[in-house]
Structure 1
């Protein structure tokens, strides 16, 4: 078994910070592992081999952070040594250091999440990879780009992350969204025996609050449909995409944008949800065709006039167009006196609400696709005869 000692090398320049390093001794051979931790000579306790500070010092929080990181490093070195010893193979102090450096490179949170994001993209889960990327970017801002080891993620770190978001006015559901993804990453590392579970998420909120009602009644949907917007093409297009989403049983905009012309066959749209991979079939109606007929100049392979140029970044195009549509929908909301933030997502909620108002069974619409867990919605919809849902959609469209 190796011995790990924490050491301090003072600076040759008076008043400047010295360097913390680790001394690894195995079979009488001594090796040194440098760190990037810098402290003053007055902040080093030689007898305890540990950094120390006065609570009133301006550097108190910095020193306490370094002390915590040293503790994690020593624990990691000890764990590596035990693992190498348990394997029954001959190893050296250099092997311990090499494994420590490998671990530091592969199993920092930033690097570990980058590897997960890359695998998600390889597996075609682009949408999921984007949510992981958004979470990683958020955590990087919180950490001011300072990486952290997976086994250094503590309850205190997560509470501070939550508090940081709250101080910026971020909604609880958005904070929970980031926290749940970080928890999934952490749990994956635990499952792969990379770290031990210290349950760092026990004091932060990871639930989902019910959001403010986003559904519009059919009377308001009728007003949106009836607006004369021919002189303002941007608003007209935004209204058309909103209505198309509503007609298509509340189809999400990303699924609409990537519908291909070949998906429309024999009077039915067949597609797979980008979010879940679930296949859905929707009857094509005259209302949908009327909108499509307005955009005959669309020469792309896509059904709707969202991604018109296949030679550019399609996902960037979809996001930019979606942003512009939502921006213009807010202008439309003011025109008809709607007070809730009008977005494409409102069309999804509105269809579900309209279906419920028509007395359509919850098993058909799964509470307007408004379950706390969308898994339940998927189970209900996947088990239904498509004609049942199409009949429900027909009842709704006849009311407009």
Structure 2
């Protein structure tokens, strides 16, 4: 097993593998930390000058003395970066070594770097949220300035600043939930900079300032209204008919998010059921995520037959929402448009029938309410893909497939749930 040095060792290295036309070679920083890696410095020297300046105790002549000062300062800067890094990695070292002082303390640049990282990982939704966050902060700062600023240093973000920003956001008709989302992104950027040793934890403003939290009320539609909505007449309105079909598809398929419906592929179909991994948590779950199993009821099959692709290869999409070749940003944009389509036409359908529906998340919340009442919390947690409690996973494994199918079929029965006693009696009779 390779032994890792306790601290990165810095030295200069004259790379004589390829001589330049003027007889000089690139001077590189040589870093040893378990393994060796070279970094360009942008400085060049001949073999003689390198030997007689940097390696000499007392260089002769002003030119060699100046070269020694330059090379020594490069080493000093590299060692300073090593000392600042709490956890050394070659990537962090390189980024901090060649960043300007302004860039290191400019929170805008830290946002940009992290957004680029998120985009590389196809985390487009999170990337979009961080972009909205920094754009909002920039807009707030420049709202009272004639000349816009391009640098926002970490020490400008004080508790007083955050309170003023929160008040400004509310005055702009933003919700406390939105403020919370934006400032949790800011807090994460601060934490990253502190962990990397770029800023001092003493300037951390979130000890005194508390990020607001919205109530985030999860509205569920009760059985009578679900039944009324399901039977609502959409004849002659193809848009409302399609929106209703996908809303109830989400409802019956374990409260499946529209993004997961968009991502569904033919390889996920397994005859009597299909399975999927939640797009929202697939990158954030520490352990290998467990697929969510959804029985193929007649209703589910009907929606697939009417609105899905008739056939496809394993990696082809079931529904023609995404197409092959779309990048992450394009998929995010198309999915958002599809969600807006469903929300817009479901709201019109609901209003025409004396109901108020906000959007697709109510299908998920309604599923949660219905299945919790009819089958219990443990059943609902597994069906929703929640993996917080390991015992939930084990409990769900004990349910038979017939029970899962019965539960899925039951979702389209909008009568009031049976009493607890009757449900328990039915379970005992199995």
Q: TM-score, normalised by structure 2?
A: 0.62
Q: What is the aligned partner in structure 1 of residue 132 from structure 2?
A: 134
Cα gap change, 1:128 to 1:390, in 2 (>3 Å)? farther
Distance in 2 (CA, whole Å) between partners of 1:261 and 1:215 is: 31
Query: Is the CA contact (8 Å cut-off) linking 2:190 and 2:204 kept in structure 1?
Result: no
Distance in 2 (CA, whole Å) between partners of 1:369 and 1:140 is: 38
Cα gap change, 1:251 to 1:155, in 2 (>3 Å)? same
Q: What is the aligned partner in structure 2 of residue 294 from structure 1?
A: 306
Q: What is the aligned partner in structure 2 of residue 219 from structure 1?
A: 224
Gaps of 5+ in 2: 1-75, 84-95, 143-147, 283-288, 416-430
Query: Is the CA contact (8 Å cut-off) linking 1:139 and 1:161 kept in structure 2?
Result: yes
Cα gap change, 1:274 to 1:335, in 2 (>3 Å)? same
Q: Secondary structure at the match of 1:337?
A: coil
* Displacement after TM superposition at 1:226 (Å): 1.2
* Displacement after TM superposition at 1:310 (Å): 5.3
Cα gap change, 1:296 to 1:151, in 2 (>3 Å)? closer
Query: Is the CA contact (8 Å cut-off) linking 1:217 and 1:350 kept in structure 2?
Result: yes
Distance in 2 (CA, whole Å) between partners of 1:396 and 1:85 is: 60
Which of 163, 166, 174 lines up with 1:170 in the alignment? 174
Pairing 1:238–2:238 present: no
Which structure has more relative contact order (CA 8 Å, sep 6+)? It is 2
Deviates more, 1:273-282 or 1:361-370: 361-370
CA deviations over 1:326-377 (Å, ceiling 9, x no partner): 11111011012113x430111010101111232x22223249979xxx7747
Superposed CA RMSD in Å reads 3.4
Distance in 2 (CA, whole Å) between partners of 1:193 and 1:181 is: 19
Q: What is the aligned partner in structure 1 of residue 111 from structure 2?
A: 113
Cα gap change, 1:85 to 1:244, in 2 (>3 Å)? closer
Pairing 1:307–2:359 present: no
Gaps of 5+ in 1: 1-79, 88-97
Pairing 1:352–2:357 present: no
CA deviations over 1:28-49 (Å, ceiling 9, x no partner): xxxxxxxxxxxxxxxxxxxxxx
Distance in 2 (CA, whole Å) between partners of 1:206 and 1:187 is: 15
Distance in 2 (CA, whole Å) between partners of 1:179 and 1:231 is: 46
Which of 278, 281, 292 lines up with 1:276 in the alignment? 281
Query: Is the CA contact (8 Å cut-off) linking 1:162 and 1:204 kept in structure 2?
Result: no
Distance in 2 (CA, whole Å) between partners of 1:85 and 1:268 is: 55
Aligned length: 305
Query: Is the CA contact (8 Å cut-off) linking 1:109 and 1:149 kept in structure 2?
Result: yes
Query: Is the CA contact (8 Å cut-off) linking 1:355 and 1:368 kept in structure 2?
Result: no
Pairing 1:332–2:349 present: yes
Cα gap change, 1:201 to 1:375, in 2 (>3 Å)? farther
* Displacement after TM superposition at 1:215 (Å): 0.6
Q: TM-score, normalised by structure 1?
A: 0.67
Query: Is the CA contact (8 Å cut-off) linking 1:349 and 1:369 kept in structure 2?
Result: no
* Displacement after TM superposition at 1:180 (Å): 1.3
Matches within 5 A, 1:80-159: 84=80, 102-144=100-142, 146=149, 147-159=151-163
Cα gap change, 1:282 to 1:99, in 2 (>3 Å)? closer
Query: Is the CA contact (8 Å cut-off) linking 2:124 and 2:332 kept in structure 1?
Result: no
Q: What is the aligned partner in structure 2 of residue 74 from structure 1?
A: none
Q: What is the aligned partner in structure 2 of residue 267 from structure 1?
A: 272
Q: What is the aligned partner in structure 1 of residue 165 from structure 2?
A: 161
Deviates more, 1:324-333 or 1:299-308: 299-308
Distance in 1 (CA, whole Å) between partners of 2:81 and 2:254 is: 61
Pairing 1:185–2:189 present: yes
Distance in 1 (CA, whole Å) between partners of 2:178 and 2:394 is: 28
Query: Is the CA contact (8 Å cut-off) linking 1:267 and 1:283 kept in structure 2?
Result: yes
